[in-house]
Amino acid sequence: MRRIVLILIVMGMGAAFVAGTFTLWEKSVPVEIGHQVPDFTLETLAGEERSLSEFLGKPVTLIFFTTWCESCRLQQPYMNRFKEQYGDQIEVIYINRREPRTVVEKYVQELNVKTIIFLDRNDNQAQRYGVLGQPEALFIDENGILLYHQIGPMTDQFLWEKWGELRSIPLKSSQKR
């Protein structure tokens, strides 16, 4: 009888391990280029619950960042300039990774961030999208298809050229360069 109980316990532990492994693997599999990105709903810095799908209909650049990331800080003026010049054609959305609202608010004021910011308090979306560091950006077309995954900082010129390359059409600036 003890032997049967021991076998059942070992089998139960093995099943739990396998189930946990598949759950962890499922969360960490990144979205592949050319595939539909999963929708999400997160709280914004403004305190609203918003979804990625609300912004589709035009291309989206989704940027994962933290306030302590020096590269994120250095790229911010370029992102502001890109948003000013091309914001009517391409949405730029930031996702902050695991930081308190007050810290993100200070960052926004300090660097004059001009775009919507989602708060990913548990880092679930970063894991879901296969984001490992920061800054990282996802280039998503108007239908929600992932076109490109950029690891590392960008300039407004890089964004402009990459979107032109991905879309095979030049962006039209609302300002003179």
pLDDT at 20: 42
DSSP state of 53: G
Phi, psi of 158 (to 5 degrees): -60, -45
Q: Which domain holds residue 119?
A: 33-167
CATH of the domain at 59: 3.40.30.10
Asked, for residue 172, whether it belongs to a domain, the answer is: no
Residues 125 and 77 in one domain: yes
Q: How far apart are CA 31 and CA 36, in angstroms?
A: 8
By mean pLDDT, which of 9-13, 69-73, 130-134, 145-149 is the weakest? Answer: 9-13
Residue 5's pLDDT is 52
Is the same domain home to 156 and 121? yes
pLDDT bin (cut points 50, 70, 90) of residue 11 is low
CA–CA separation, 139 vs 84, rounded Å? 18
pLDDT, position 62 = 97
